């Protein structure tokens, strides 16, 4: 089942003043879909998965469900809707992003992390005399953010049919 195949159809008029009418039927992609929270909150239905370098939702769907067509289930389950910002970047792209964002200041200290795991700034470290705080650079910070995007939840294949049924019900 294609994700957009169940979306409502809208008639859009693309004609301009004085032109012949140009109407098209298109899927209303503005429709907002969320799976029922009681299904998603039951953690026994999930398997945790770490996205491998270069994997897309389609590749994960193929690996886990046997077809790339359920990529949308993965995205909805994890509330990730943006292929670029919600999934981990490949190393080369990440390096370019960090370079563009920080330039020469990518090795500057962004914050410190205490042994208790608290994030503090240099003012706190200096004022409190915290000797056991570890500096975290802008580069290290961005790497960690990217790595946090690797862990996702995958709905168990045996309840996939129920998720698809609920999706169809929502889209009626």
Which residues, 6 or more positions from 106, have their beta carbon under 8 angstroms from its beta carbon? Answer: 98, 99, 137, 138, 139, 142
- pLDDT confidence of 125, banded at 50, 70, 90? confident
* pLDDT mean over 14-23: 72
Asked if residue 40 has pLDDT above 70, the reply is no
Is the pLDDT confidence value at 171 over 60? yes
| CA atoms of 101 and 44, how far apart (whole Å) | 40
Residue of 76, 141, 83 lying closest to 107 (CA atoms): 141
Structure tokens at 17: 């003043």
SS3 78: coil
At 151, is the pLDDT very low, low, confident or very high (cuts 50, 70, 90)?
very high
For residues 75-92, average pLDDT: 88
What does the pLDDT read at residue 29?
A: 52
Half-sphere exposure of 62 (CA within 13 A, CB side): 6
């Amino acid at each position: 089942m294609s994700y957009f195949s169940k979306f409502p159809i809208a008639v859009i008029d693309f004609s301009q003043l004085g032109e012949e009418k140009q109407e098209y039927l298109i899927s209303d992609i503005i429709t907002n879909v969320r799976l029922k929270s009681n299904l998603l909150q039951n953690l026994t239905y999930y398997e945790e998965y770490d996205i491998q370098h270069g994997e897309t939702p389609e590749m994960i769907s193929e690996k886990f469900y046997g077809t790339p067509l359920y990529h949308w289930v993965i995205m909805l389950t994890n509330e990730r809707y943006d292929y670029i910002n919600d999934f981990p970047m490949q190393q080369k792209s990440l390096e370019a992003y960090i370079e563009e964002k920080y330039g020469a200041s990518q090795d500057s200290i962004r914050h410190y992390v205490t042994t208790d795991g608290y994030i503090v700034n240099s003012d706190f470290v200096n004022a409190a005399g915290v000797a056991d705080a570890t500096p975290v650079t802008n580069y290290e910070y961005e790497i960690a953010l990217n790595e946090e995007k690797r862990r996702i939840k995958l709905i168990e294949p045996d309840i996939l049919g129920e998720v698809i049924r609920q999706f169809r019900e929502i889209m009626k």
